[in-house]
Amino acid sequence: MLQYIVYNGILRQWPEDLYKRYKDANNLFGTTIFVLVSAVQKIARVMPLKPGLRLYRGLGGNVSLPRCFYKTNENGCRGFTEWGFMSTTSDRKVAIKYSGVKDSQALPMVLVIRTGAVDRGACVRDFSQYVDEVEYLWLPGSFLEQDGLQSLEVTEHGIVEMVPVKANANLKADTTDVLLGRKKQMHIAAFTYRVDEISQELQRMISDTNMVANRLQKDPTAGEITVDKFVQKIMEQCTAVLREHEKLGFEKYHAHGMYRTLEMEMVDVKVLCV
């Protein structure tokens, strides 16, 4: 629970003293937070979704929703972004317990969140120290907007305000697999551009009869073949190297020695056509 408070404090940059303490120490848990985001994202994608599932979030009784939640802006939009991990539960009674009503707080309130195929939290019950709370965790950067009229619910401890909310899940958050795969993605994109560049250069060579003759004389493997066949042969060799790079797993691209070799192979394909 302590780590959860720290991570959310860093993501929200509040409380200011907590955020400043970790920022000044140059320790904002960037890697840890990204790994947690990845885990929540993956769980949410494969989690079975119950029809008509509603999730609830008690606000502690001392928090009021910001004005932008109720008042539309110049674009006709209203709502706010939750910068931290948002904890919710499928158990209404648990949320009411966290609303602050039992402690006679001034603003006992519960968010009632409608879920869907796209906008959903991840059920982390099996990983939680509070198994009975049936916790659903939402990614940082989720957007909350009003989804109907508020109502009052009478409980054994007092009155709780129930606020219907639509939560738009942060779909731009990447998993660690995607983040690790970007190095490969950039390399393959650059390699593909180089192969296209070689193709264009070969087309320019074809239009120059003398250049073609000189190039054929340099290559002892050319034999008695036409220019078109010769160009096709070069392109097949270049593409073959590219395809071998595409087959490699992204972990190969994070091994320094291997990545250097792949970069040199990409540079060397240019030799095939000069």
Domain ranges of the chain: 48-168, 176-272
Residue 163: strand pairing partners: 111
| Amino acid 218: pLDDT | 65
| Amino acid 211: pLDDT | 62
At 156-211, the pLDDT tens digits run: 999 999 999 999 999 888 899 998 899 999 999 999 999 999 988 888 777 665 66
Residue 265 has pLDDT above 80, yes or no: yes
Q: Mean pLDDT across the chain, nearest whole number?
A: 90
2's tokens: 């302590």
245 backbone dihedrals φ, ψ, rounded to 5°: -65, -35
| Amino acid 272: pLDDT | 66
Tell me the CATH architecture of domain 48-168.
Alpha-Beta Complex (3.90)
**109 near 146, Cβ under 8 Å?**
no
- Taking the C-alpha atoms of residue 160 and residue 153, their distance in angstroms, rounded to an integer, is 5
| Amino acid 38: pLDDT | 95
Show Cβ contacts of residue 97 under 8 Å, excluding neighbours closer than 6 positions.
58
Residue 221 has pLDDT above 90, yes or no: no
| Amino acid 209: pLDDT | 59
**136 near 90, Cβ under 8 Å?**
yes
If one compares 218 and 128, the residue with the highest pLDDT of the two is 128
| Amino acid 174: pLDDT | 87
b/e 121-141 (16+ beta carbons within 10 angstroms → b)? bbbbeeeeeeeebbbbbbbbb
At 61-86, the pLDDT tens digits run: 999 999 999 999 999 999 999 999 99
Angle (CA) 163-165-171 rounded to 5° is 155
**Could you give the percent of the chain with pLDDT greater than 90?**
74
